[in-house]
Chains A and B, each alone.
Chain A
């Protein structure tokens, strides 16, 4: 395939992080399962003063294939991703897991002599998880709205361990006026793990049962997380046990979009 000229090595940004253009990667689960998180992210980035573009050709970061051992397909996703997002000063995703896939794992997929290596590395270096981008890169101290509910924060594994996202979402939530009550084992995996949850439903189910126990024990009105995968998992377990505790993505809370009313009801 031919690489458009603007995407060739030379025009790649140096990753100094000074520019204002942001390519928003909405991630598959946000796109399909929780579109509101995408709009919340858009709002937060624009309010922070960035020119946000959502590249139309984006699909997936390739994580499902990568973690299932399908390395070639993962490489293909990575290559496409880098081309799609090459022209922005920053790339932001409302997901620690997808951001880590791009930042940490995409570069590992390419050998040093691969013609796409330079581009992939450069885009990877400019890619960030939303809350760490807002705080660490953009220097945002406060955002608008939070919620009056007491929140408990679940640390999603990839963001936490691969990108060191821990204090950033808490800082933003507190600055927005939210009260956070920490649950026990906030850093323990909720059992989602991508395909893991359907490959080993018994184990995954038991893990999310333990997690939802801790959420309920914390006494919070809602559990907040930075990944829609974990969110759907914990939310689904809470719903199954008929628990009223809600589950939100941190972007939804920060953007004041925690109501469940669809914006664009279709008749499906």
Chain B
């Protein structure tokens, strides 16, 4: 996975300075969490469902091979095919071959973050195919050549005005000369343009929210309905999905159907929940003639048995993003990865590499809000801390920081020097302080402290350290 996460700090700075983006972030940070709370509040068994969901996932991950093979057998019984892809390249090559087999030119897509992870679009376009995203948000960012902003709302950061500009430019060659501003009209315009794409498409590619081992079915949960068109109109339906999406039974699926929409958008249920069970049968009125599923590993099995195994429970609801004060300050594109926010800070190092994503696991204050809302109870801060440990072991932690931590650890082994050092620090701060509004404040700190005084003062300690005063007999 190609990432640009090393630019996180600069991206974040730019995002903070962008007032329009900040307005868009408000939707994620305020409105989604409020909607989530409201619908969750109406479901007394929500926490019990989370426990059940977690247990199902833990059990499934412990028996991953068994369930995937059972799934494969059911799919084949229904006349579909299952392909196993170890890497992104393998997955892309398989999809390309399937498209070639179908003698396709036009490909439509819906509802797939994993294909973003694989950069499948670039691959297929490079081989000469027309690839069009049909989810409104994905379509918009495809036209704008952007990366998704959020795993659930890829274009929710954009204003109607920006979308209007984008559509105007992109649709002009199609003979649409009117610039549409109204939101409803924009959706209508997209619908009209995409209708032609649906009609022309030879292959439809979708992702999957869940795979049901018991029945060999693929579950897709959406609000737009275009995933169903993508899956049923073209003659070939290709499902590209991560192996961790498997659940054992339909009963298990029902648990996730109840927690996913609530966690993601605060809906009690989504508009469409579809189960796909293979290609069209003789008596079916419609549906694809061929049905293929590409099961993508791309680093996932490497996570099994490691401290980040729990991350494989993730159902991509995005609740942790909406709850994260860092995500809602800097936005998804700052992360330089398909997966952003707390979940992305764990997924990205796992799927790309620890070194290329080193900044992300550090981009958290460990406030713990993400873990609080995660419907499958992934301990996200611990997962991020694990990557920080890997960075520390690999000497990727910045030298200044390592040095400071080393001194700190050394002081920890020498309590009397610790007391002296902390006293000296206090004295230093008092020397640097000056009076502001009747209080002694430091307004400019050197070295690593300059980050602090960039946006706030520091109250200088008014007196020697507690331990030294206590040692000298002060008790009150």
Contacts and interface: CB of A to CB of B under 8 A. Distances in A.
A175 interface: no
B401 A195 contact: yes
A80 B16 contact: no
A42 B476 contact: yes
Contact of A239 (B372, B430, B436): B436
B365 A208 contact: no
Contacts of A195: 401
Interface of B, secondary structure class, is: helix
Contacts of B469: 35, 39, 263-264
Interface stretch (B44-52, B87-95, B447-455): B447-455
A239 B459 contact: yes
A205 B409 contact: no
B455 A38 contact: no
Contact of A67 (B366, B371, B390, B450): B366
- Kindly name the residue among A70, A209, A262 whose own CB sees the greatest number of chain B CB atoms within 10 A: A70
Nearest to A207: B325
Interface string A247-268: 0000000000000111111101
Contacts of B463: 35-36, 262-266
Interface string B373-417: 000000000000101111111000100011001101101110100
Contacts of A122: none
Interface in A177-200: 187-189, 191-200
B430 A268 contact: yes
A203 B16 contact: yes
Interface string A45-72: 0000000001011111010111111110
B427 interface: yes
B186 interface: no
Contact of A200 (B12, B412, B456, B470): B12
Interface string A29-44: 0111111101100110
B474 A264 contact: yes
B98 interface: no
Nearest to A237: B456
Interface in B123-161: none
B454 A196 contact: no
Contacts of B168: none
B166 interface: no
Contact of B466 (A31, A68, A265): A31
A196 B365 contact: yes
A197 B412 contact: no
A5 B282 CA distance: 81
A64 B405 contact: yes
- Kindly name the residue among B364, B372, B451 whose own CB sees the greatest number of chain A CB atoms within 10 A: B451
Interface stretch (B68-76, B236-244, B293-301, B418-426): B418-426
B451 A197 contact: yes
Contacts of A64: 405, 408
Nearest to A41: B466
Contacts of A235: 457, 459
Nearest to B447: A198
A237 B441 CA distance: 11
How many A residues are at the interface, by size bracket? 35 or more
B430 A202 contact: no
B290 interface: no
Contacts of A26: 466-467
Interface residues of B, number: 73
Interface of A, secondary structure class, is: helix
A28 B422 contact: yes
B81 to A, nearest CB: 44
B25 to A, nearest CB: 11
- Kindly name the residue among A31, A199, A232, A244 whose own CB sees the greatest number of chain B CB atoms within 10 A: A31
A32 B329 contact: no
Contact of B363 (A38, A203, A263): A203
B283 interface: no
A197 B411 CA distance: 22
Contacts of B448: 198
B457 A239 contact: yes
Interface in A151-173: 157-158, 160-162
B367 interface: yes
B78 interface: no
B319 to A, nearest CB: 15
B82 to A, nearest CB: 39
Given A201-B454, A239-B459, A192 B365 contact: yes
B412 A236 contact: no
Contacts of A203: 12, 16, 326, 329-330, 363
B388 A69 contact: yes
B459 A33 contact: yes
Given A69-B392, A232-B459, A54 B415 contact: no
Interface of B: 9, 12-13, 16, 325-326, 329-330, 362-369, 371-372, 385, 387-393, 397, 401-402, 405-406, 408-409, 411-413, 415, 418, 422, 425-427, 430-431, 436-437, 439, 441, 443, 448-452, 454-459, 461-467, 469-471, 474-476
Given A43-B476, A239-B441, A266-B464, 7 more contacts: A26-B467, A31-B422, A60-B418, A194-B365, A200-B12, A207-B325, A268-B431
The 10 tightest CB contacts between A and B, nearest first, are A193-B365, A205-B455, A236-B456, A69-B388, A201-B451, A69-B392, A189-B367, A73-B409, A262-B462, A38-B466
21 contacts: A28-B422, A38-B470, A59-B411, A64-B408, A67-B385, A67-B388, A69-B392, A73-B409, A77-B412, A158-B366, A187-B369, A191-B365, A196-B366, A198-B449, A201-B450, A204-B451, A239-B439, A240-B456, A266-B427, A266-B463, A268-B431
